[in-house]
Amino acid sequence: AVAEMMNRWLAGLAPPKVFRPSSEFARMIAVYAKERLAAATPDTLDVYVTHDTWVGSCLFHWFAIPMPLDGVRFLDGYLMQPLDGEMAVWYRGKAMRMEYPHWWD
């Protein structure tokens, strides 16, 4: 139910008059995060707590991580550290280095 709706939204199959497209939403959240991180120092910890659909959208559009088969779990999330030329990402116990999306300025 929720995972199916989430996959349809990520695939662009949800009606845009009902749901903001997930790629547009992910970019909007990126702008918000970048504004807050602009003046961050190395000891800054910026924590966002949000809904599963928002986490799933950012995982997919920022890091190319598809929706897990069990969906985004309760209080599931990821850690991200912006670096020069890439991002360090931690999700479900796995550490990764990911390139920035082409639209990430």
Question: Residue 58 falls within a domain, yes or no?
Answer: yes
| Within a domain: 12 | yes
Q: Distance between CA atoms of 27 and 61, rounded to whole angstroms?
A: 8
- Inside any domain, residue 84: no
pLDDT score, position 105: 77
Q: Would you state the pLDDT for residue 10?
A: 93
Q: How many domains does the chain have?
A: 1
Position 88 in a domain? no
User: What pLDDT was estimated at residue 68?
Assistant: 85
Range of the domain at 20: 2-75
Domain-embedded: residue 41: yes
Q: Is residue 54 part of a domain?
A: yes
In a domain, 34, yes or no: yes
Which of the 8 DSSP states describes residue 72?
A: S
| φ/ψ (deg, to 5) at 22 | -60, -35
23-48-77-82 Cα dihedral, nearest 10 degrees:
70
Residue 37, pLDDT score: 84
Q: What is the DSSP letter of 4?
A: H
The model carries a pTM of 0.84
In a domain, 95, yes or no: no
Given its phi and psi angles, is residue 88 left (phi above 0), alpha (psi -120 to 50 degrees) or beta? beta
- pLDDT tens string for the chain (105 positions)? 777 888 899 999 999 999 999 999 999 999 998 898 888 887 877 777 777 888 889 999 999 999 888 888 888 888 888 888 899 999 999 999 999 999 887
pLDDT at 25: 94
CA angle at 29 for the pair 57 and 64, rounded to the nearest 5°? 35
pLDDT at residue 64 in the model? 92
